[in-house]
Homo-oligomer: A and B are copies of this chain.
Amino acid sequence: MTLDFEQMLREVALRVTRPRVEVLSAVHARPHADTDSIIAAVRTTLPTVSHQAVYDSLNAMTAVGLVRRIQPSGLVARYESRVGDNHHHVVCRSCGLIADVDCSVGEAPCLIASDAGGFTIDEAEVVYWGLCSDCSTPGNP
């Protein structure tokens, strides 16, 4: 499995380093994890990584589109490996759980290709807010 990730890094012209491989692996293993969780996960196999190396890796991989950063209002940044498609997210207001949602209105790109107010739009980001099934069960405020 490690080879997979090395390959993916090379394909986007990023140098292959242990921290990057482990970070990429961690993001694949736990979708929607925040930076702290990823640092913790990486340290189980690579105990000495600095938090900075993880931040750098995540930024570099986000920049080339290997991973995707999601950051709903008021929450810390989270990362996922599902990239390239056009899915969105549901966030639980109570516990912060995030789940994927496929684009439901309109077709694939979910994007206004035209410009609005002179803006040239290249991405539409949708966040749905609500309660997950656990939190909407009677008894949880």
Chain A interface residues (CB < 8 Å from chain B): 69-71, 73-74, 77, 90, 92, 99-101, 104-106, 110, 112, 115-133, 136
Contacts and interface: CB of A to CB of B under 8 A. Distances in A.
B125 A121 contact: no
A80 to B, nearest CB: 14
Q: Give the copy number.
A: 2
Given A124-B126, A126-B124, A127-B125, A119 B104 contact: no
22 contacts: A69-B73, A70-B73, A71-B74, A73-B125, A90-B116, A90-B121, A92-B119, A99-B117, A99-B119, A101-B116, A101-B117, A112-B128, A118-B132, A118-B133, A121-B130, A122-B131, A123-B128, A124-B126, A124-B127, A124-B129, A126-B126, A126-B127
